[in-house]
Structure 1
Amino acid sequence: MRISLCMIVRQEEKALERCLESIADAVEEIVIVDMGSTDRTKEIARQFTDKIYDFPWVDDFAAARNFAFSKGTGEYLLWM
């Protein structure tokens, strides 16, 4: 069983490292979709994955989540 963690983030430098550390050993893949961060969010995410994508905010949370899911390759997709 292969699990992909798919997260959408923006300005999460304060919490992202702790969040990813807590789940990294439980998933086989981490996908991060950033919606315009200007802080260190992407830099922190790069410590855990190279699968980092940009997605402009279009006033549709589901669109961002579905874009993140489209990048996951696991049998199961986990959203956090």
Structure 2
Amino acid sequence: MISISLCMIVKNEEEVLAGCLDSVKGIADEFIIVDTGSADATKEVAARYTDMIYDFEWTDHFADARNFAFS
């Protein structure tokens, strides 16, 4: 069976993250959250859905964060 990983790069998304993750429950097999420096409760919201939450220092290059998420 194919498994689907949802990889999200986020920063200060506490207001919308739960709704986003709720909308893909049952579709994605795992959630991988890469936080690029949130100053709000984004990581706390993400923790209700997954323990795969990683910090990544923003480098001004989306590809760097994407490659980190995929690793």
TM-score, structure 1 normalization: 0.85
Deviations along 1:20-65, one digit per CA (max 9) or x if unpaired, are: 0001210111000000001010000001000000000001011101
Structure 1 unmatched ranges of 5 or more: 71-80
Q: Which has the higher contact order (CA 8 A, sep 6+)?
A: 1
Give aligned-pair identity as a percent. 59
Structure 2 unmatched ranges of 5 or more: none
Q: Secondary structure at the match of 2:51?
A: coil
TM-score, structure 2 normalization: 0.95
Partner of 1:30: 31
Distance (Å, rounded) in 2 between the aligned partners of 1:24 and 1:9 = 18
Q: Secondary structure at the match of 1:43?
A: helix
Length, aligned pairs only: 70
Q: CA RMSD in A?
A: 0.6
Distance (Å, rounded) in 2 between the aligned partners of 1:37 and 1:25 = 27
